[in-house]
Amino acid sequence: MENKMIPFNKPYLTGKETFYIEDAVATGHISGNGKYTKKCQNFFESVYDFKKCLLTTSCTDALEMAALLINIQAGDEVILPSYTFVSTANAFVLRGAKLVFADSRKDHPGLDESQLEGLITPKTKAIVPVHYAGVACDMDKIMQVAEKHNLFVIEDAAQAIDSFYTGQDGVKKPLGSIGHLGAFSFHETKNIISGEGGMLAINDSQFIERAEIIWEKGTNRSAFFRGEVDKYGWVDVGSSFLPSEIIAAFLWAQIENIEKIQSRRKLIWDSYRDKISIWARKNKIQLPVLPAYATNNAHMFYLVFETEEHRRKFIAYMKGHDILTVFHYISLHRSEFYKTKHEGKALPFSDKYTNCLLRLPLFFELDVHSVIDKILMYESDK
């Protein structure tokens, strides 16, 4: 029987992925840091102005590299939103950091920058803003607080490829290029994919040399292959953070089509917004808010219901019409692992998004109008 369910996500293949993988295999270099890794890194460095990019096996790994690079020690405090993916937190918990959660903004799931000053202590080492749905946090305010208190800023830009922030200086900057370090994901649920995959963007040049070493298991292997040292060995801590050329070759096929992928996603996103905004107002549902300083990379289209019960009813209604809609994070301060460790502060907006946010299907090949038709037939009071 044919499955007519519209999924939440369907990975888009450009058609060139296996071609480039075959090429990588034919060249005989299938471990990391070969031709395709360099092509991908050069692309991101030249198009988005990151000082240095290193592909990683995931955004999780890029965040773990960031925690190593800024030398997180046991007892250091890291400020992050509670409404985020576990990897934002795990990277720092693995190094012994204490998590300090900021609430989300009232109008947006991103971190509420106005709370930062109140969360800083002498032990604070870093702020980790998450650009939820690819929509920028208020980076000017975050960078100002960080500078004042001498803190590192690591952008969790997992969802934020090809999205921008325009600060008070009027300069439009790619997300992930503003903090000291930025972490991206190419997981199959993101805009540009390689199955599993990620990238660390290094914007503060003091970290570049050590980042390459940590990336290559704590050895100076990269410098050796550039002829900068005459032998290589163990010089620092590190791990195997670099992906194989097979992954990079896949990613290259996606990168070549980034404009096509992004414009298709934006078209779908705009259709949702244009066609359902009146319906949403009538049903007391909040649509995504884009602050004036942010662009939209069409990573996600979400609804915020007034109550969890409304969301539950809508999910069931859509499922009845063979359309899969999914909610997102359970705030980390309410998670099984961390709830007893969280020091009691209420995070009402994190809770609100945990209970009431719902994501609509958004992928390259989606027939968005068939989803919109079903949405418009739904009335919350029926």
Question: Taking CB under 6 A as the rule, does residue 222 contact ligand PLP?
Answer: no
Q: Which of 103, 156, 162, 351 binds ligand PLP (CB under 6 A)?
A: 156
Question: Can you give the length of the chain in residues?
Answer: 382
* Residue 84-103 contact track with ligand PLP, rule CB under 6 A, x = bound: xx-xx---------------
CB atoms within 10 A of CB 241: 23
- Position 265: which residue type? R
CB atoms within 10 A of CB 205: 9
Q: Which H or E run includes 10?
A: none
- Cα–Cα distance list, 277 to 271, 283, 299 (Å): 10, 10, 18
| Minimum CB distance to ligand PLP, residue 370 (Å) | 27
Applying CB under 6 A, which part among 37-45, 156-164, 289-297, 371-379 lies near ligand PLP? Answer: 156-164
In the complex with ligand PLP, the residue whose CB is nearer, 67 or 372, is: 67
Reading the block at residue 76, the tokens are 């250091």
Pairwise CA distance, residues 14 & 195, whole Å? 13
Q: Which of 198, 238, 243, 288 binds ligand PLP (CB under 6 A)?
A: 198
336-342 own/partner pairs: CB under 8 Å, 24+ apart:
338/89, 338/99, 341/99, 342/99, 342/101
| Minimum CB distance to ligand PLP, residue 158 (Å) | 3
| Minimum CB distance to ligand PLP, residue 329 (Å) | 9
In the complex with ligand PLP, the residue whose CB is nearer, 85 or 272, is: 85
Question: Taking CB under 6 A as the rule, does residue 254 contact ligand PLP?
Answer: no
- Position 238: which residue type? G
Handedness of CA 109, 110, 111, 114 (dihedral sign): negative
Applying CB under 6 A, which part among 41-49, 96-104, 115-123, 155-163 lies near ligand PLP? Answer: 155-163
In the complex with ligand PLP, the residue whose CB is nearer, 184 or 305, is: 184
| Minimum CB distance to ligand PLP, residue 187 (Å) | 4
Q: Is 159 helix (H, G, I), strand (E, B) or coil?
A: coil
- Position 60: which residue type? T
Question: Taking CB under 6 A as the rule, does residue 145 contact ligand PLP?
Answer: no
Residues 173-192 that bind ligand PLP (CB under 6 A): 185, 187
Question: Taking CB under 6 A as the rule, does residue 350 contact ligand PLP?
Answer: no
Q: Which of 58, 104, 191, 254 binds ligand PLP (CB under 6 A)?
A: 58
In the complex with ligand PLP, the residue whose CB is nearer, 48 or 317, is: 48
Which residues touch 83 (CB under 8 Å, ≥6 apart)? 104, 109, 132, 329, 331, 332, 347, 349, 350, 353, 354
* Residue 123-142 contact track with ligand PLP, rule CB under 6 A, x = bound: -------x------------
Q: Which of 24, 55, 59, 202 binds ligand PLP (CB under 6 A)?
A: 59
- Cα–Cα distance list, 61 to 13, 64, 268, 331 (Å): 24, 5, 31, 21
Binding interface with ligand PLP (CB under 6 A): 58-60, 84-85, 87-88, 130, 156, 158-159, 185, 187, 198
